[in-house]
Structure 1
Amino acid sequence: MVTIVEKVRYYETDMMGIAHHSNHIRWFECARCEYLRTAGVDLIQLQKDGIIYPIKSVSGEYIHPVYFGDVLCITATLTHLTKAQMVFSYRILRQADGILLATGTSQNVFADAHTGKPIRLDAENFAKLQRLWKEESR
């Protein structure tokens, strides 16, 4: 599990003063990218090597409103990994009181950058992800 901290910006809110639901997906992505960085996977180099990682599916459950100025703790947990895909779960909590605000999941597949066809992740990056995932399982 990797946790990032984000402060809700004014432009992320709607006319009701609540963070627009689309931001949750972006916050999930920020946490997922930090998870990959922590594992040692360089996303820019992966793309240079011709491997992309498009989202196949994403979902979220909005439990409590998120307001301008809230400081959020967003966790990403790798829940499933193969050389063809990775699945993450997410939790967003308000730092001030620990209230669970939202949960979510996403599934990425690995694909050839030129053809878009599914491919298998190279052994080196797969091992990096596996290492962090196994460390978390202990």
Structure 2
Amino acid sequence: MVEARIRVIYGDTDQMGVVYHANYFRYFEFARGEYFRARGGSYRDVEREGLMLPVVEASIAYKSPARYDDVLLVHVRVSELKRASLTFHYDVRREGAPETLLCTGQTVHACVGRDGRPTRLPPVLVALLQMAV
């Protein structure tokens, strides 16, 4: 598991002063990038190999709202690794005592080549991701 820290900016909130629901997907994306970096790789490295990991499914269960200037802790881990796809799981919490669970979610990613066709996850990427499965 990797923890990414994000401070909510004013532009992330809606008229009610809470984080707009779709922004959590941006936080997930940020955490995925941190996940790769924490394991010695990057998404850019994946693209250099001619591969992409598009999101093919995404879900969130909201528990409590985040607000402007909150510091969010996004915990991300790989929960499933298949031949040509992987699933990330996320817990988003408000930093503080006690930490408050704000939402949980997951994204499923297909491994595709530059032509957009599904392809096997390369061994180097599997090894990087298996460190946490």
Write out the 4+ residue segments of structure 1 that deviate beyond 6 Å after TM superposition: none
Q: Which runs of 5+ in 1 are unaligned?
A: none
C-alpha RMSD of matched pairs (Å) = 1.2
User: In the alignment, which residue of structure 1 is the partner of 2:127?
Assistant: 127
User: In the alignment, which residue of structure 1 is the partner of 2:47?
Assistant: 47
Is 1:98 aligned with 2:99?
Answer: yes
1:36-115 to 2 correspondences below 5 Å: 36-96=36-96, 97-113=98-114, 115=115
TM-score scaled by length of structure 2 = 0.93
How big is the shift at 1:82? Answer: 2.0
SS at match of 2:132: helix
TM-score scaled by length of structure 1 = 0.90
What CA distance in whole angstroms lies between the structure 1 residues aligned with 2:38 and 2:5?
15
Contact conserved, 2:33 with 2:42, CA < 8 A, in 1?
Answer: no
Is 1:34 aligned with 2:34?
Answer: yes
What CA distance in whole angstroms lies between the structure 2 residues aligned with 1:27 and 1:63?
16
Contact conserved, 1:83 with 1:122, CA < 8 A, in 2?
Answer: no
Q: Deviations over 1:2-53 (max 9, x none)?
A: 0011110000001111110111011111111211222223311221221000
Structure with a larger share of its residues in helix: 1
Contact conserved, 2:112 with 2:118, CA < 8 A, in 1?
Answer: yes
SS at match of 1:14: coil
Contact conserved, 1:10 with 1:69, CA < 8 A, in 2?
Answer: yes
Contact conserved, 2:2 with 2:35, CA < 8 A, in 1?
Answer: yes
User: In the alignment, which residue of structure 1 is the partner of 2:2?
Assistant: 2
Is 1:25 aligned with 2:40?
Answer: no
SS at match of 1:133: coil
What CA distance in whole angstroms lies between the structure 2 residues aligned with 1:8 and 1:68?
5
SS at match of 1:33: helix
Name the count of aligned residue pairs: 132
